[in-house]
């Protein structure tokens, strides 16, 4: 039996379940390493939440690090979709200053390069159950119009903002 494709990139590369899980986890650990996010004591503190992002992030991080919940988190569970949505909201309000939206900003965001779709797929493949992120419907309807022509919209929005710095 041939392995079933669970994820397809815009460049047409396809991943099976095992390949996707490996890609997803490596992307998180690569982001932590690249942006030097790991605290000196190697203990990661997350804000307690019922969100899917937090549940997924905690499960992945626990594979290599001590991870706890705290009222003073040193990691954020914000992801690519949230950051892109925040950027769009600010632009619509006329605020173009790119403050506090980089992956290494405090608190650091290891999910910075992963979208809602990728996080939801990872959660379903690993049977993680939690609340999906509430999205701004005005921004999402605008995104849907752009996504038809540019499937990498969220990444492009974040890249463009980072070039302003």
Burial of 50 (0-12, 13-18, 19+ CB in 10 A): exposed
Higher-confidence residue: 59 or 162?
A: 59
pLDDT at residue 101 greater than cutoff 80: no
Q: For residue 87, give its domain range.
A: 5-164
Phi, psi dihedrals of residue 55, rounded to the nearest 5°: -60, -45
Q: How many independent structural domains does the chain possess?
A: 1
Whichever domain contains 97, its CATH number is 3.40.50.620
pLDDT, tens only, 13-56:
999 999 999 999 999 999 999 999 999 999 999 999 999 999 99
- Dihedral-angle region of residue 127 (phi above 0 means left; psi in -120 to 50 means alpha; beta otherwise): left
pLDDT, tens only, 120-144:
999 999 999 999 988 888 888 888 8
Secondary structure of residue 45 in the 3-state scheme: strand
Q: What is the pTM of this model?
A: 0.91
R_g (Cα) of the chain, nearest Å = 16
């Amino acid at each position: 039996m041939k392995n079933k494709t669970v994820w397809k990139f815009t460049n047409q590369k396809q991943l099976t379940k095992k390949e996707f899980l490996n890609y997803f986890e490596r992307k998180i650990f690569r982001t932590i390493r690249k942006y030097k996010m790991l605290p000196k004591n190697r203990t990661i503190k997350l804000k307690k939440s019922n969100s899917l992002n937090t549940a997924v992030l905690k499960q992945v991080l626990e594979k290599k690090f001590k991870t706890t919940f705290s009222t003073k988190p040193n990691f954020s569970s914000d992801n690519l979709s949230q950051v892109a949505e925040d950027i769009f909201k600010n632009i619509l309000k006329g605020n173009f200053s790119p403050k506090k939206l980089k992956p290494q900003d405090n608190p650091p965001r290891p999910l910075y390069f992963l979208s809602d779709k990728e996080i939801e797929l990872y959660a379903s493949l690993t049977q993680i159950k939690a609340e999906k992120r509430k999205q701004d419907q005005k921004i999402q309807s605008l995104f849907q119009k752009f996504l038809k022509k540019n499937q990498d919209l969220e990444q492009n929005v974040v890249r463009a903002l980072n070039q302003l710095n």
